Structures are given as structure tokens and as C-alpha cells.
Amino acid sequence: MFLETLLLLITIIVGYYWYIYKKAHYYFESKGVKYLRGVPFFGNLMNNLLRRTHLWEDYDVVYKAFPNERYVGFTDGVCPGIFIRDPEIIKHVTVKEFDHFVNNKDLFPEGEESILKNSLVMLKDEKWRKMKAALSPAFTASKMREMVPLMIEISHNIVEYLKEHLTEDIDLDDLMSRYSNDVIASAAFGLQINSLKERDNIFFKAGKDVFNFSLFQSIRMIFSDHFPSLSKKLGFTVIPKSTSEFFRTLIASTVDYRIKNKVERRDMIQLLIQLSTEWTETELAAQLFVFFVAGFETTGNTLINCIHELALNPHIQDILYEELKAFKETKGNLVYENIGELKYLDCVLNETMRKWSAAIFVDRICTKPYVLPPPREGGKPCQLKPGEVIYNAVNSIHMDPKYYEEPEKFIPERFLDENKHKIKPFTFMPFGVGPRYCIGSRFALMEMKILLFRLMLNFKVLKCAKTLDPIKMSPVGFNMNIWGGSWVKFQARKA
């Protein structure tokens, strides 16, 4: 009896996925959209989900399969969507007709009370608009100016640590995550932490737990996406409950302490205290959580890839050093008002974000009926209904030789003022695009520039035996992490 029941269950599951698999194909065929056949259950993401390739590489296979199409079909697991390759269409759906595509795709099953689900990234419609307006004062020029001394102090900790470890191979993944952790702890939470000395502080460990994506977590995430009701009953969550509770408790206790003791500090916690009558505690906690997540991993990851590229390209490192040295000799200290004068540093960071953008793609949910132009000459327009998904290509466009000559090469000069006219609009989108553009982009850029300024003036970055050349992405996780980690040596510059 058990065997018959098991066989029946297996048959039902296989039949269900075969039906969904064929339904996805019919979805594209009915719209006249070309597509690559995926694999039942996995869709077009099988290699990434089996940890063979990075997520971006699976998207890029579909992007490159149809070079003459303006958009193509893409299947995420069992969910079909339209993958947009054409910058002109991206401009329309993210800016000109944004009111048809206001919301991001849900990452969580319906009913899951995840802390991230209440964040600015996942909020929808009018609630998103109100929260964005409420948070914008945290990223004004005056607020950024106040953050500079905090970032300089934390970058000083990094420099002093490296001076004591000049003969060692340095794990950039660990070092940069500690820097970004301490910056976010100070700027958002008002906490003074030195993660290089307090190596197991709970703030740093909580950040690591969020991004320690095991194979089991990946499977659980897919299961939650496919079977939301069952996942809810089983208590599956995408973000570990312990992590969500840590941040809720931390924020609640900090807010309570400041109110009772009349403590004020010009950081994000203080802004949220001012908003506490308009939003729930969970909603406010979510904003700090997503700010922490973006700062901890995304900013840290960009720094890692930038420093790794400088180790592989010493001639670029030399040009950057000469700019920073001349700036130091003529301008003296770095302050908010003069940080924008470092033009080549801008170019180096932009080129890093072109090659190794954390965005990968920008998804949107259709909220009002919309008609895409034909995918090719002679094709038919594509009708989109509310609830259908589009994916706007980011990394694949960044790495398309149609838009960037020799895209696999690290060439910061692409972004010099005299060359910027060659960059076609909507082909460089590391922070997203349109009204949903990353609200913290200015903060992130400033954080990265300050550390690179201090590092390059004090050290040469050199390859070591563990330095991966050329760079290859790890198949684990969503960020652009280097396979096996990023390792370099730092050599002190002569005074």
C-alpha cells in the first residue's frame, strides 16, 4: 500500500511539473516570443541551482542565445517572464511608463512575515512611495557630510590592521565585510564597533548568517516559491527567524533606550524614531535591515572585486595612485566637498560595477495592462497582463560588446569625461534605474571611495599565490563573489 501511494505521489508531482513546464512554453509561443527550453522544476536556472555556474551566467546564456531579439522568454523555476535585452525598452518600462511597472517581484511566499518583506525594496504601490519619501532625508548632502568622519575613522582601522600583516596573504572577503559591517553599524545603528579586534561581535556574525546560503536554504527557497501554502504550514522562511529576531530586538532596544534617556544621534535610528508614529515597529526594523544587508554584502563585494582587479592590473593601480597622491599634496584631507574631484577613482569604481554589477537584472511586476513593441522586425507586439513578470538585463548588457568594446577587459578610461558620450543611455545600471533606483547609492559610493583613497595611498596591492587570475564567479549565493575567495598581498608604499 505504501509503495502504491508513493508511486502515485511521484506520478502526480512529475505530471504537475511537466504540465507547468509545457504551460511556460505555451506562454512564450502564444506571445510570439523566442525562448530557450528550460528543465522541469529548474527552468533556465538549472546550472546555478545545482551550483555549477553563477546566477548571472544562466541569465547570460539566454541573453546571448538570441542576439537580434529585443526581448526573449526566461523561466525562473516554473515561472515564465519576459527578459528585456533592449536599452530603449528598458527606458520605457522603468522610467517613461513606470506606472505600469511600479513593483518588484515578490521574493517571499504570500503570508510569510519576513523582515525583508516589509523593506523599501519589497513594499508596493503607495506604501512604497510613502516609505521612500520618509527615508530620503537620511541620504541628503548634509547627512552624507556627517558620515565622512565616521568612514575615515573606520578606514583608519583597516590601514592599521594591514600595516601589521604586510607579509601575509589577505582574505579580502573577510576584510571588506568587516569594514562595511562597521560603517553600517555606526551610520545606521549608532554602534561603535571595530570588527578587526572584536572579531566575533554579534553584529558581524548576524550579517554573515544572512548570506551563508547553504544548499538546503536554496532548496527551501525554491520549495517556498513553488508551494507557498505548504511552506507556510511547515514554517519555512527565506530569512532565518533568528536573524530577523536579532534585528527586531536590537532596533527596539536601541529606540527604547534613546527615548527614555533622551539620547539623540544623527543616524538612521534617529530618523526612524521620528517616523515611529507613522509606521509599525516591524516596518521600521525592515528599513534598517535592508540598509544593513545592502551595505554589508553588496558594498563589501564591490570593494573586493575592485581591489582584486587592481591587483591584476598594476598599470591601472599606478594611474590611480598618481591621482590620489596629487590630490593629497594639493588638497590635503578628504572631505565631503572635494571627494567628487577624484575623477579616475570614479572611473575605477564605475568599471568595477560594470564588470561585476551586483544588480544582475532588474525585475518588475506588470501592474497595469501594457503592450511591448515587437521583439523583432516583422514580429507582433507582446501583450502583458497585471501580475506578469519582466526582467531587465543589467550584467549581460554591461558585458555586451555591442555596447562596450572588449567588455571582458578592465578599462576605467571608458568612464572618463571625454568618453562618456560613447556610453549609450540605459546600458550602465549598477544601482538599478528609474524611480526604484537604489536610494543609498550615494552613501555606498562615498564609503568605497574613502577606503580606496586610504588604501591606495598607503599600499600597493599585489597578487599572491592564491589570487585567482582571471576572475571567475562562485556559483554559491546571489552576489558576484570570486570563486575560492579573493586573496592579495599589501605592500607598504615608501613615504
Smallest CA-to-CA distance from 144 within 433, 439, 414, 377 is with 439
User: Which residues sit in the known binding site for heme?
Assistant: 438
| Alpha carbons 16 and 386: distance in angstroms, whole number | 24
* Contacts of 403-409 spanning 24+ positions with Cβ under 8 A: 403/87, 403/427, 404/354, 407/355, 408/355
Smallest CA-to-CA distance from 288 within 263, 270, 264, 265 is with 270
| Alpha carbons 225 and 316: distance in angstroms, whole number | 44
Cα Rg of the chain (Å, integer): 23
User: Which residues sit in the known binding site?
Assistant: 438
| 389-393 vs 361-365, strand pairing mode | antiparallel
H helix runs in 356-479, sequence order: 395-398, 441-458
Smallest CA-to-CA distance from 313 within 405, 401, 409, 398 is with 409
Q: Which residue has the cell 615608501?
A: 494
Q: Is 273 exposed, middle or buried (0-12, 13-18, 19+ CB in 10 A)?
A: middle
| Alpha carbons 91 and 210: distance in angstroms, whole number | 33
Helix (H, G, I), strand (E, B) or coil at 84: strand
| Alpha carbons 391 and 105: distance in angstroms, whole number | 9
| 370-372 vs 361-365, strand pairing mode | unpaired
Amino acid letter, residue 3: L
Alpha carbon dihedral 336, 285, 261, 141, in 10-degree steps, equals 20
H helix runs in 98-201, sequence order: 125-135, 141-163, 172-189
| Alpha carbons 472 and 484: distance in angstroms, whole number | 9
From first CA to last CA, the distance across the chain in angstroms is: 81
| Alpha carbons 112 and 162: distance in angstroms, whole number | 43
Helix (H, G, I), strand (E, B) or coil at 492: strand
| Alpha carbons 430 and 441: distance in angstroms, whole number | 9
| Alpha carbons 351 and 75: distance in angstroms, whole number | 30
| Alpha carbons 155 and 453: distance in angstroms, whole number | 9
